[in-house]
Structure 1
Amino acid sequence: SSEIIYLVNRDKIYVDVNIDEVDIKEISLGQQAEITFDAYPELKLSALIDSISPLATGMGGITVVEVTLQLIQSDPRIMSGFSAEVEITVEEVHNVVRVPTEAVAEREGMHFVLLMNENEPQMTMVRVGRANDEYIEVLSGLKENDRIAANAYQILEQFQQQAGGAEGRGGMFPGMPGRGGGGGMRQLAPH
C-alpha cells in the first residue's frame, strides 16, 4: 500500500537539532532559542527546548545528541521538513564590555586589541572572558567608549608579514617591535 495523505499539526511545531557532545552540558530543558528558516531568512521565531535525547549517536565523525525545540509562536509559511538554523541562548550577561571577536588577536596565550589613541593604533593587552561567535567579553584592559580597530587579527597578521625583516625596528604600531633581533610582541600594561 502507498501513503495517500500527510497530516500536519500546525498547533505545535517542533524542530530537531543535533548538538555536539562537547556542547550538550550547556543545554537544558526550557532554554530559549531563536530559529531562522532557510526559506525565510528574515523570519526569526522563538522556541523552547522541549526534550533532550537520552542517547548520543555518531554522525559524520562526531558524536551528537538530538534536541527537540517547540516553537513558541508559529507562522503559516513554515512547512514540515524545512531546514533551519537554531541559536540556543545558554547564558545572558549584562553590563559588560564586549568587542567583536575579530577585534581581538591572540599570541602565545595573551590577547590583544589595537586601541586607537589619537588616531594611532596601539597594541593593548586585554583579559578576556566569555565569547560567542560574534563577541568576546573584555574583563580588563579596555573601558567603555574606548575606540579599537575592528579587525585587529588581520592587521597584526599583515604587520608581522611586513615586519619580517625589520630587525628590531618599531614598525607601524607603537608598542609592536619588529621580528628579528628584538623579536616578538611586547606586553603592554592594561589601559
Structure 2
Amino acid sequence: MFLKRSTKMILVITLLSTAILTGCATSAPAAESTGTGVVTESTLTDTVDSSGSLQAAQIATLTWNTSGVVSSVNVSAGDKVKSDEVLLELDATTVPASVIDGFVALANAKLALEDAKSMSSTAEAAVALADAQAAYEDAYSDAYMIGNQVGSKNSVEAARVALEIAEVTLENATENYTDLSYLKDDNLKKLQSESAMINAQINVNTLKSQLNYLMSTPDTLTADTYTANLELAKAQLESAQRAYDRVKDGPNADDIAAAQAAVDAAQATVNSMKIIAPFDGEVVVLYDQTGDQVEAGENSVILVDREKMFVEVSIDETSISNVNAGDKAVISFDAFPGLDTTGEVTFINPIGSSSTGVVNYTVRVDLDSADPSILIGATASITIQTGDPQTILFVPISAVQSDAQGEYVIRVTNNSQERVNVVSGQIVDKTVVVKGDLNAGDIVQLFTST
C-alpha cells in the first residue's frame, strides 16, 4: 500500500505519537503481557497532488486552402489515419483556374527537376560555353579593328592585285566592244561583247569597294557597335562559364534545391484542393460531406494524435522544489473511473506566476498511455511521486515499551524472548512505525500498563 506523507502531517503525528507512547509504553516491571503481535511492513512514498486538463501533444484543425465542391470524403469521425493520407478532395471542375494552372506548373517543375538531376545539364552547359566563346572571339576581332585599317597587309595587297587584273579585263572588253561598234545593236556577237564589258565593269567596281573597305578604318557608329557587341559577348561568356562551372562536376546541389522548391510550390497549389493529414492521428471531428460547397479558410477536420497525451498542472512554491523531471506520476479521471494510467514529469517551467499571493509553477506530465474513450480536456487528478518508495515496519502500539535505556520491544522466538531496541515514529491506526533490528513477520510481545 502507498501512504502520502507531508511535513505538517509528520509534525502533528509525531507529537501525537509521543503523547500516546508516553501514556501506553511503560517500563518493563510496570507492564503485563497480554499476548503477541506481528511485525508488518508497508511502503511510504512522498507525493505531490494537483489536477489539470488532458491535452494532446498534436491536435490540428485542418482547413480548406481554396474553394470548390467536395467530391470525395475518405474518412469518418473516429477513423485512424496516417500522415500524408488524403482525407477529403474537391471536384477539379469547381476549383479556381489558378489551381488548375498548378497542374501544368507542377509538370514543368518536375521536368526541370529531372533536368537538374541529370548529366544532360552538364552537356548543355558545355555547348553553350563553346558557342559563347566563339561569339566572343568574333566580337573581339571586330573590336580590334577600331582605329586600325580594316584589312591586313596581305588582304589589301591581294585586293589591289585582283583590281588591277579586273581593270585589264575591263580594258580588253571595252576595246573589243569598240571594234564591233559597226555591227548592228541586235548582232549576237556585239551583244556578247557588250555583256562582257558590263560584267567586267561591275567586277572592277566591286573590287574597288572591297579595296577601299580593307584600307579604311571603322567609323564612329561602327566602332561603337563593335564595342557594345564585345561587352555583350564578354558578359554572355562569363555567364556561360559560371553555368558550366556549377555543373561541370555533375548536377549542382543549389540548382536541384531551387528546382525542388519550384516543385514543392506547385505541389502545394495542387494540394490546396485536398485535405491531407499532417501526422498520424484520429479524426475526432468531420465537418464536410460529399457535395458541400466550401470556401478557403473553412474548417474541415479536427485531427488528434492520442499516442502523445499530457496534462499540465500548477504546483505551488512550497512543493515545487520536491518535483523533478523524470518523477513518476499516477493519473486518474473522475469522469472516467477505472481508467487510471501512469506518466512522467517531462517539463517544469522555472518561471512562476502569482495568483492571490501564491506563486505557482507549471509542470507537464506526459502520459504513458490513455484510454481512447477519455475525452480531450477531461479533468485529470495527478499524484506525482517525489521520492523513492521506502519500506517501513509497523508494530502494535502496545508492543513498544520504554525504560532508562530507551524504547524497545520484546521479540519472541522459539519460546524465548529477546529485547530489541527501537525508535518509534508515526502512528497509523493501532500500529506505530518503528526503526530497529526487526523483520516483517517477527513475533513481538504485547503489554498492557498496570
TM-score, normalised to structure 2's length?
0.24
Does 1:13 pair with 2:305?
Answer: no
Which residue type is aligned with residue 81 of structure 1? Answer: G
Structure with greater contact order relative to length (CA < 8 Å, sep ≥ 6): 2
Q: Partner of 2:350: helix, strand, or coil? A: strand
Q: Deviations over 1:104-138 (max 9, x none)?
A: xxxxxxxxxx7246xxxx89885438xxxxxx954
The corresponding residue for 2:397 is 115
Q: Which residue of 2 aligns with 1:189?
A: none
Query: Which of 425, 428, 436 does residue 128 from structure 1 map onto?
Result: 425
Higher CA-based Rg: 2
Alignment of 1:4-83 (within 5 A): 6-83=302-379
C-alpha displacement of 1:4:
7.1
Could you list the runs of 5+ residues in structure 2 that have no partner in the other structure? 1-296, 408-422, 427-431
Amino acid across the alignment from 2:384: I
TM-score (norm 1): 0.52
Letter in 1 for 2:307: D
Shift of 1:21: 0.9
CA distance in 1, matches of 2:363, 2:316: 10
**Number of positions where the alignment pairs a residue of Structure 1 with one of Structure 2:** 126
Amino acid at match of 2:381: E
Q: Is the 8 A contact 2:342 2:369 kept in 1?
A: yes
Report deviation, 1:31. 1.3
| 1:115 aligned partner, one-letter code | I
Q: Contact 1:123 / 1:174 at 8 angstroms: preserved in 2?
A: no
For 2:323 and 2:391, the matched residues in 1 are separated by: 24
Give the Cα separation in 2 of the matches to 1:63 and 1:27: 15
Secondary structure of 1:69's counterpart equals: strand
CA distance in 2, matches of 1:7, 1:69: 22
By percentage of residues, which structure has more strand?
A: 1
Q: Structure 2 matches for 1:74-153, cutoff 5 A?
A: 74-97=370-393, 115-116=397-398, 127-128=424-425, 138-139=434-435, 144=440
Deviations 1:21-64, CA, capped at 9 Å, x for gaps: 11111111111111001112322201011111121112344211
| Runs of 4+ with >6 A deviation | 1-4, 122-125
Q: Is the 8 A contact 1:50 1:68 kept in 2?
A: yes
Query: Structure 1 residues 54 and 127 mapped into 2: Cα distance closer, same or farther (>3 Å)?
Result: same
In structure 1, stretches of 5+ residues that fail to align are: 100-113, 130-135, 148-172, 176-191
Aligned 8 A contact 1:17 1:67 in 2: yes
CA distance in structure 1 between the aligned counterparts of 2:434 and 2:313, rounded to whole angstroms: 31
